Amino acid sequence: MRIEIESYRFKSLSLLLDQAACYFLVLTGFFIPLSITATDFCMALTAAFGVLSGRFFRHFDSLKQSTVVWCALWIVLLVAIAMLWSIAPWDTRLSALHKYSKLLYIPLLLAVGNDPKWRDRTILAFLSGMLIVVILSVLKAWFGLPIGRNPNPAFIFYTHIETSFLVSFATYLLALYAWKKPQWRLPCLLLIVLFTYQEFFINDGRTGWMAYLILLLLFSVQRFRWKGLLWGVTAAAVLSISFYYGSPTFPAILKRSVQDIQQYQAGQVQTSLGYRLSFDSLSWHLFEKKPILGYGAGSFATAYQQMGGVPGWGVLQTPHNEYLMVLVEFGAVGLLSLLLLFYIQWRLSFRLGEMKYFAQGLILVFIVSAFYNAFLYLSVSGHFYVLFTALFFSIPARKVIPCTHLF
């Protein structure tokens, strides 16, 4: 009898911890667009409770077969090894390891995000957080609501770049729900209009605009097969023309971008795009000097300063490009490792049933946006990637696919 009572108490405690992991997973989704500190806290508790409840160990055999998990772990290991030959100070090397160590959450969260009910709740929590951001942004634009450290209405809790990126992906999720859940179609369509208004009439983040149009094309193909590509291109063109003549921010940023390129070609680099093009050029020069293994973990800022930097720009932590940063710090080995992770996720997405649409949107928008920002390295976008990888590639609801089936 005593043994039965102890077993019952153990099962009750395990169930309680399991429920706690699920609730903190939902909170992680909610806080992603609102607070990186709260996101990190909730994500850590999700992982901790998932381990303490035994959920992680129950799925351990499946996790061992996950190619996504092994690729993520390899990237963290590569960063740790690359600390040995890095030219950066040790505190910077450790900081780089900390930045990439968020990938260690992937195997821990995969075991928690496998319940469709809790997965949907987490996605809805993320959309709820995004709705708060969009409403505050509109109020700030219309009535001068004093929120955020920057007067730009696109700056709420994060920069206009991160906000625009998150808004574009949230709009894509709403489109998928409007398609897959007819009972939600009307509210989803209304929110799509609101989010699109914030994206193109208030936000001035070019990364978000590019992400929005890429996801529009992807959704058109997913919805109408390859015939949808024509519809998607047409819709993107019509929207772009409408925004150009109707939005106060869209045409201004496009005109300024053209001027920046012209000034850069004339030798003036002190513009938004001019600086980015200069960062790209300098990064390629650094890569050519150490093309195989790079300068080591956390070395970009040090290598940048040794090369003399870019006139008019001070300390530079990243080249605003994930691929170039990986090339500089980890060489061709690092870039191939990152591309392998994205490739495996893309191939795996076609075997995920209805979740393939969600997974494909995540991977495609991340691959494209990484050309404009070091999104995996940065905290907000990096945690975003980890969370939604855990949700969309979760096990055991998904059949684990051996490595040999992905090539």
The answer to the question of residue 186 being in a domain is no
Residue 114: count other Cβ atoms within 10 Å of its Cβ. Answer: 20
Query: How far separated are the first and last CA of the chain, in Å rounded?
Result: 55
How does 336-346 read in b/e, with b if 16+ C-beta sit within 10 Å?
ebbebbbbbbb
Question: What's the pLDDT score for residue 267?
Answer: 65
Is the predicted pLDDT of residue 402 greater than 80, yes or no?
no
The answer to the question of residue 168 being in a domain is no
Mean pLDDT (whole number) for 350-371: 91
Is residue 244 within 8 Å of residue 250, measured between CB atoms?
yes
pLDDT digits (tens, 9 = 90+) for 299-337: 999 988 888 777 777 778 888 899 999 999 999 999 999
Question: What's the pLDDT score for residue 87?
Answer: 92
For residues 103 and 110, give the distance between their C-alpha atoms in angstroms, rounded to a whole number.
11
pLDDT digits (tens, 9 = 90+) for 149-175: 778 888 888 988 899 999 999 999 999
The answer to the question of residue 52 being in a domain is yes
Phi, psi at 337, each rounded to 5°: -65, -45
Tokens encoding 215: 């996801």
Question: What's the pLDDT score for residue 396?
Answer: 44
Question: What's the pLDDT score for residue 174?
Answer: 96
Higher pLDDT, 196 or 58: 196
Is the predicted pLDDT of residue 399 greater than 70, yes or no?
no
- Number of compact structural domains in the chain: 1
- Cβ-in-10-Å burial (0-12, 13-18, 19+) of 222 comes to middle
Confidence category of residue 375, pLDDT binned at 50, 70, 90: confident
The answer to the question of residue 298 being in a domain is yes
Phi, psi at 226, each rounded to 5°: -70, -20
Range of the domain at 314: 2-155+273-405
Average pLDDT, the chain: 86
The answer to the question of residue 189 being in a domain is no
Which are the contacts of 60, defined by CB distance < 8 A and separation ≥ 6? none
The answer to the question of residue 63 being in a domain is yes
Is residue 161 within 8 Å of residue 379, measured between CB atoms?
no
Mean pLDDT (whole number) for 390-406: 57
Is the predicted pLDDT of residue 143 greater than 70, yes or no?
yes
pLDDT digits (tens, 9 = 90+) for 236-262: 787 778 777 777 777 777 777 777 677
The DSSP element (H or E) to which 342 belongs, if any, is helix 322-349
In the chain, the amino acid numbered 148 is G
Is the predicted pLDDT of residue 45 greater than 60, yes or no?
yes
pLDDT digits (tens, 9 = 90+) for 70-112: 999 999 999 999 999 999 999 999 999 999 999 999 999 988 8
The answer to the question of residue 203 being in a domain is no
The answer to the question of residue 376 being in a domain is yes
Mean pLDDT (whole number) for 28-54: 93
Question: What's the pLDDT score for residue 39?
Answer: 96
Q: Enter the pTM of the model.
A: 0.90
Confidence category of residue 25, pLDDT binned at 50, 70, 90: very high
Is the predicted pLDDT of residue 394 greater than 50, yes or no?
yes
For residues 325 and 313, give the distance between their C-alpha atoms in angstroms, rounded to a whole number.
17
Is residue 168 within 8 Å of residue 208, measured between CB atoms?
yes
